[in-house]
Each structure stands twice: as C-alpha cells, then as structure tokens.
Amino acid sequence: MAHWLMKSEPEVYGIQHLRQEQTTLWDGIRNYQARNFMRSMAVGDLAFFYHSNATPPGIVGLMEVVETGLTDPSQFDPTSSYHDPKSSPANPRWDCVRLRYLREFPRLLSLETLRNTFSVEELAVVRKGNRLSILPVPEPTAARLFCLLEG
DNA sequence: GCCAACGTTGGC
DNA sequence: GCCAACGTTGGC
C-alpha cells in the first residue's frame, strides 16, 4: 500500500467538497508525469489531500484510492476546460482514479512546516517551484506525516 | 501582481 | 534534435 500527495485548489475542489460527495473522480490531470503516477496507483493506496493556491497552502486531509485505470471523460468534452482535441475515445491519453473521503486532519500542516521538517528527497512538494500536482510519498515520510498530523 | 520553475510547441 | 517562445502552476 503506497502513499501519495494530491493537490487541488480549495476554491475549485477542496476537502469540504469531497467530504460532501464522499467519492470523486480525480479528473483534469493534464501532465504526463502526474498521469503516470496515477497509473501506478493501486486500490487501497492512501493520498494526502493538499490545498494549493491557499493561504496557507498545506495538507488538510486523507483520501483512499477506490478505483484505478479509469479514462478521464472530460478530455472528450468540448465544453470542458479540460477538453483535449488531440484525444479521442479510440485513443484516450488521460486517465483518472476515483477517491474516497477518509478524514480531515484537526489542523492544516502548512507548506512552511513541511519545509522545516522534510528535505526535498523526503517530500518533493517542498522543492521550490514544484508544480507537479500528484507526488509519491515515501513510506518513512508518510509515517512521520501521520505523527505530525494526528499526534 | 510578480516571478521562478518547467513542460510544451513549433521553426529550423 | 536543438532551442527560443510561450503557457501554466503555484508560492509569495
């Protein structure tokens, strides 16, 4: 069982939206590296929900991967801002996964605290200018995150 | 609003 | 295949 960090802007889709819906398709990922990380996810993996473009940015909750290998439907939708004209149902290029709400942490764990706690090797999100919206979290780092978030 | 980081595109 | 131009992400 692996751990991940997944970013979303709270004003677009935040942890509160997921708590209301309980499950969601994590669609709209249009970066090959992030897509490939989604492709290597397995059912039962856990993902830290990270609020980006927030004040302050940081980890706010926990999700579980409940379905993998899904084709992102928004790539075929001409009215969607995620529409990809180079993609077709016969040749889809973007995947997504389905996630389930697990819980919200009692306090946000800010990027500033993460930077003071982890090196870039331990947690890639602390690297300056990191734009990847989906990142793997090494197991030792995941264990320390749970201590910080719930201890 | 600014800017650093960096992926993508297109000319050659 | 190189590289400049451009666009996007996201912190500050």
pLDDT above 70 as % of chain A = 100
Alpha-carbon distance of A103 to A83, in angstroms, equals 31
Q: A53: Cβ under 7 Å from strand B?
A: no
* Helix, strand, coil shares, percent, chain A, to 5: 30, 35, 35
Peptide bond between residue A138 and the one before it cis (omega within 30 degrees of 0) = no
pLDDT tens digits, one per residue of A22-51: 999 999 999 999 999 999 999 999 999 999
Nearest to A98 by CA among A73, A75, A64, A132: A64
Strand B neighbours among A 20-39, CB < 7 A: 31-33
Global pTM reads: 0.96
pLDDT tens digits, one per residue of A91-102: 899 999 999 999
CATH topology for A3-150? Answer: ph1033 like fold (3.10.590)
Å separating the CA of residue A130 from the C1' of nucleotide C9: 8
Which pLDDT does position A24 carry in this prediction? Answer: 98
Q: Is the pLDDT of residue A151 over 90?
A: no
Nucleotide lying nearest to A131, CA to C1' measure: C9
Tokens for A8, please give them.
């979303």
